[in-house]
Amino acid sequence: MTTLRDTGILVGRSMRHIQRSPDTIITVAIMPIMIMLLFVYVYGGAIKTSTGTGNYVNYMLPGILLIAVASGVAYTAYRIFLDMQKGIVARLHSMPVSRSAVLWGHVLTSLVSNAVSLVVIVLVALVMGFRSSADLGAWLAAAGILALFTLALTWLAVIAGLTAKSIEGASAFSYPLIFLPLISSAFVPTDTMPTLVRAFAEHQPVTAIVNTLRALLGGQPVGSSIWTALAWCTGITVLAYVFAMRAYKRVP
């Protein structure tokens, strides 16, 4: 109970920081929205002609959501790095505060703040023509996968925040994660790619996650892709958590 209470207090602290600086959520949502506008209204016609994807907003939205998460977790690394540099973590360790609550406060804050950004992006997509035939169960399944994906990347962000030597280094880890959806099935079918690129795209985690989300939101059968997506998300979460805990144990 002490750990839960301490975690709740630290989540409240982090959320108050975000409320005082709402540009955090706005910035996370703006970039993916701009990418969505660019691809739909500038490149969308050509892509639909060459790939026959139909409603392109429906096709690309899952990838946009993953880009938003990859961008959003950078702020988790940034906040942890600042707490380390300002001595806040050391001060909390000297107080009767559960040690694990210090990290979980940041992790849960990441889940909440990223969820808000994703809701904003979906609302913009609806204005742009996104439509879904998914039932409530499919929406809940999609939300669960997004939450697990966010958790996986957040623990990677924890590692970056604990081990970085500069603010730039703390957030730079997210750049490859933001780029990864571009080499996947997020924006075009993988069978339109050159052989080597296609091989990479079809065997990296984003493609399985995107395909699963696209099927769920489209009210289509998900097939085996959901198990691949869950395996990737779970595996990354577990490995990142283990390495984050090792890095945290070295913190005074």
**10-residue block means of pLDDT along the chain (252 residues)?**
78 77 72 88 71 79 94 89 86 82 89 92 94 92 96 94 86 86 89 91 94 93 92 96 92 77
Share above pLDDT 70 across residues of the chain, in percent, rounded to a whole number: 94
DSSP 141: H
Question: For 84-97, what is each residue's pLDDT tens digit?
Answer: 888 888 888 888 87
State which residues form the domain around 224: 2-249
Whether the Cβ atoms of residue 3 and residue 98 lie closer than 8 Å to each other = yes
Measured from the Cβ of residue 55, the count of other Cβ atoms closer than 10 Å reads 16
pTM, two decimals, is: 0.91
> How far is Cα 211 from Cα 221, in angstroms, rounded to an integer?
11
Whether the Cβ atoms of residue 47 and residue 188 lie closer than 8 Å to each other = yes
| Helices and strands, number each (H, E), in the chain | 12, 0
- pLDDT at position 210 is 96
Question: For 12-58, what is each residue's pLDDT tens digit?
Answer: 887 777 777 666 667 777 888 998 998 888 877 777 665 566 788 99
Please state the domain count of the chain: 1
Q: DSSP per residue over 15-66, as a string?
A: HHHHHH-THHHHHHHHHHHHHHHHIIIIIHHHHHHHH--SSHHHHHHHHHHH
